[in-house]
Amino acid sequence: MVAADGSIAPVKPLEPLVIATRESRLALWQAEHVKARLEAAHAGLQVRLLGMTTEGDRKLDVTLAKIGGKGLFVKELETALEDGRAHLAVHSLKDVPAELPAGFALACVMAREDPRDAFISNRYDALHALPDGAVVGTSSLRREVQLRARYPQLRIEPLRGNLDTRLRKLDEG
């Protein structure tokens, strides 16, 4: 840019694009993936992550069905967008309410990764190998219904928390 005196003014670097994200390992991986894709597509673009803890991350003692599941994981990120701390947010689509608040848009959906669920056990290779009365944990009402229908001999219990928390609970029994 040319200043009034004819000199060339230094170019002001663009401010970094800020992505709001939850701080769980999975959410950070997803946000890093989006960040890398943006930086690869736009040379010189600077992107940084704004990690946040949401109400859904804090309320681990109540099932999602009882406390209103979806919005619990997005409100704090929406607030960061509204007050200008972030330019966009990255979420798992399962955590986004079907109806978005006024002023918000679902601007991009990344290619879907493998949608299959995983069974993780320290002792058994598959659900059908579990003994009668064995406890299976899940936070998903859909998974709970499917498990109860297919394996009525198992006890299905609520299991909240991020991946690390769930694996720790598995190790603790």
Same fold, 17-95 and 127-172: yes
pLDDT per position as a tens digit, 107-165: 899 988 888 888 999 999 999 999 999 999 998 888 999 999 999 999 999 887 777 88
State the CATH architecture for 127-172.
3-Layer(aba) Sandwich (3.40)
Taking only the tens place, the pLDDT of each residue in 54-70 is: 776 676 666 666 666 55
So where are the chain's domains? 17-95, 127-172
At 138-151, the pLDDT tens digits run 988 889 999 999 99
Q: Where are the beta strands (DSSP E) in the chain?
A: 17-22, 47-52, 88-89, 135-138, 155-158
CATH class of 17-95: alpha beta
The set of catalytic residues is 95
CB 134 within 8 Å of CB 155: yes
Q: 86: alpha, beta or left, given left = phi > 0 and alpha = psi -120 to 50? A: beta
pLDDT digits (tens, 9 = 90+) for 25-48: 889 999 999 999 999 999 889 999
